[in-house]
Structure 1
């Protein structure tokens, strides 16, 4: 049956591709941030920061309010997240450096698109050289001082058609502004071209060190954001990843002044990035390409910053796995919100459907076009997430179960009444049937997605965690 469905989908994609000429295909501008929570856009309800350009995309497009990173098998969650995005493969089938795995930008190039990227690439230089035809100011890494990171350009195809990275240098300005510069240059250069294009702009904001030009910090420091609704001084039990680098960005126990300052810096970085996104969007309008360009804004995953006593993205709470996702442009309804459950790996299949581009081999993503058209409410009835061997979660349109296999702990949340996940119902009476149903659903999705992690340990570790025994918090550490 699966083979029949796949064959039918492939035939439909080929028909769609054949039906669109190069001139009819929309351009694609993909704007991707780094470590940005889904609740950090003013138009979506956050009154503590200003994001006028993202707000405009919300008004002009459709927001998917339940988009998720599928998880990670390492602390640098952005590595598998970006690999899944580019390949359409799920967490337990993707190769993090994309070795031997085809990417969606390659498929767009095969369909006649000119493909370009600028910004962060954390999946190895070889895959970037293969995925895109052109690139300027590429940061081949995970994090660094935005005023001093190294960047490189992609050379034109040399003898034998091989490209390489050249002109390695330290950025001469804040890298978010530099990435916007390169995107603007590319967009302007396409004004007279009839060839459709794909421009991928991967900002490394608001990833720490959360640094923006001084005026932006002055603005957020003047009225620091409040602590999150689900703030805790410490996480209440051992989740299996209590002292990863991100968790050392603030001392234990977390305090209100520290978290408010971290959020102020985080919001300053987002607001500055929003201003640079505005420059790119203006270049589209100024060159008359806005009406034929699909714009995507998303992020690789979220971040805790005090929520549940955590700082990083190495957990399966909503604040860490939930990503913003906005689409705008031809074929996309304006001012709409869709609560369809989806993964980030569904984004490129959606663009492929809108542009008539066939999926690369191995892509498992589902196009969200039927949801955009109102033909379906959701393509997925439930989604699972995973983090290393220590956490697994599943959610449907109401319930969420988180399992900690190494300590035999479970949490159950009713997301309709408690979206901030503040009340664990797992130990309250009357929920055994719901827990059993969600656990069965999780095991089903694990099997479908190739995840072999057992959900209970015969020799569980301790639930308690002694923060007093940890070294002093430090901002030095691995490249996450």
Structure 2
């Protein structure tokens, strides 16, 4: 038997740690994750390095911040020449397997994995290129608040189909790997689910685990539009908050659906952990549980991700190896980019290639980390370079061309008091801004992004059939799940819901990009039907 541990990474999609009992949520029911947490080192301040799927995962896999790998949005490919954690672990003798979502864009759908057992849930082409020239309300994936106002129970959803497949493939692979015998080398497997990503629709039995009266409303309600920072104003329109009214009932149903989807994933985690134990591999397997980014879930009136507020940017992170690391809680700030050097160290190697992360192995043993996180965002909404740095108790959010935001998260965990103009925090602001701008030129980044968008939009619009890079693991995968030309995320997921329901039409008229830009800039007022009663008209 190898002296190197197997490594199992279990990943959820759009899972905010604030929704888990592990992080203090009194409503959400996750007995299997609670059991895992009791044997884990739990990181209380873990972050993604980009609060959107493709760039977050590319950053995690490569150990690089997104500007270094030029992955700007959900339609950017990670270069085949970029080493990933799968490549690094193969060099250390590991057999590597990907089961589930990683949302690779482009012809390379393996990126170093020996095996890929499940197709991806989303398209692999240049379908969802952000277009800053089109303005803040342009959303290539056709997502909006449909998944919020349509929240409810169902007999079956597309996402449950996918996650059942992921869980089955992961369990089967665990048993297949165990059958190799004691002389086989170690293995590394990622089990990556698509839940609890919107829409907030769940199997009836999971929906019924929650009493609507127990659902707690957001800690911070919708803020007046005139009080929003520039990026939040832009996301107001990018997320379609000008099209739908979100009532208190919608808020409760959305949260109930989100918790139900988490409970569904929790059961899948339980199946995987049981297989690990039954196969005799539990004692020699290093387990990581994490997510690619969070979900605002109505906090501040906001939904989805794409911002650097805590519900969007933070992720759950726990590491279990009970025989090696005593369970504990770690307050230091860490991020997904730190996982690559950590896994290389766990596998007995040394990072000799460029890496923006730093191993969290010292924290696993009771030591300290560098306590630093940098996160980027270059997608829909703000249409300007947007970056965050957190060190210790302070977080700085930089929006190019707009006022800085500085928060003391210990004194102000809800991020309501901007200290950027406070003379007492001038040194803190200067120190964090120096870190944020080190090696990062927002004007240059802006130019690179606009060129990349223009090139990819040109390729996307080329006559003839576009390249089809969707990974096929079993017959029919080329049309299964969300595929090119299928109507976008919301449309496809709604069509695959059983029983089907009629989507709720927008409550309010749409606005032109010209009107949206003027409102965001403060050159035009918010329409009266949106601004007359913020707490009722919009969430």
Aligned partner (choices 379, 389, 394) of residue 389 of structure 2: 394
Q: 1:188 to 1:348 in 2, by over 3 A?
A: same
* TM-score, normalisation: structure 2: 0.70
Deviation at 1:266? Answer: 0.8
RMSD: 3.0
Aligned partner (choices 405, 415, 424) of residue 411 of structure 1: 405
Does 1:42 pair with 2:32? no
1:133-188 deviation per Cα after TM superposition (whole angstroms, max 9, x unaligned): 11112215179999675xxxxxxxxxxxxxxxxxxxxx9x6221211000000001
Q: 1:337 to 1:136 in 2, by over 3 A?
A: same
Does 1:33 pair with 2:24? no
Deviation at 1:254? Answer: 4.5
Does 1:300 pair with 2:292? yes
Query: Structure 2: how far apart are the matches of 1:383 and 1:23?
Result: 34
> Which residue matches 1:318?
310
Map 1:161-176 → 2, pairs under 5 A:
174-176=161-163
> Which residue matches 1:444?
435
Map 1:69-84 → 2, pairs under 5 A:
69-71=48-50, 77-84=52-59
Query: Structure 1: how far apart are the matches of 2:236 and 2:352?
Result: 35
Q: 1:243 to 1:64 in 2, by over 3 A?
A: closer
Query: Structure 2: how far apart are the matches of 1:218 and 1:383?
Result: 38
Aligned partner (choices 527, 531, 537) of residue 468 of structure 1: 527
Does 1:55 pair with 2:34? yes
Structure 1 regions of 5+ residues with no counterpart?
Answer: 1-21, 150-170, 472-480
Q: How many residues align?
A: 413
Map 1:49-448 → 2, pairs under 5 A:
49-71=28-50, 77-96=52-71, 97-99=77-79, 100-124=81-105, 126-139=107-120, 141=122, 174-193=161-180, 194-220=184-210, 222-233=212-223, 236-240=227-231, 242-243=234-235, 247-248=239-240, 254-329=246-321, 332-359=324-351, 361-375=353-367, 377-380=368-371, 382-388=372-378, 389-406=384-401, 408-426=402-420, 431-448=422-439
Q: 1:404 to 1:465 in 2, by over 3 A?
A: farther
* TM-score, normalisation: structure 1: 0.78
Deviation at 1:112? Answer: 1.5
Query: Structure 2: how far apart are the matches of 1:465 and 1:227?
Result: 31
1:319-364 deviation per Cα after TM superposition (whole angstroms, max 9, x unaligned): 1111100000156523301111111010121121112134473332
Q: 1:363 to 1:454 in 2, by over 3 A?
A: closer
Query: Structure 1: how far apart are the matches of 2:396 and 2:251?
Result: 27
Name whichever of 341-350 and 386-395 sits farther off.
Answer: 386-395
Structure 2 regions of 5+ residues with no counterpart?
Answer: 72-76, 124-140, 148-153, 379-383, 446-518, 531-539
Counterpart secondary structure, 2:108: helix
Query: Structure 2: how far apart are the matches of 1:329 and 1:464?
Result: 56
Deviation at 1:199? Answer: 0.8
Asked if structure 1 preserves the Cα contact closer than 8 Å seen for 2:17 and 2:314, the reply is: yes
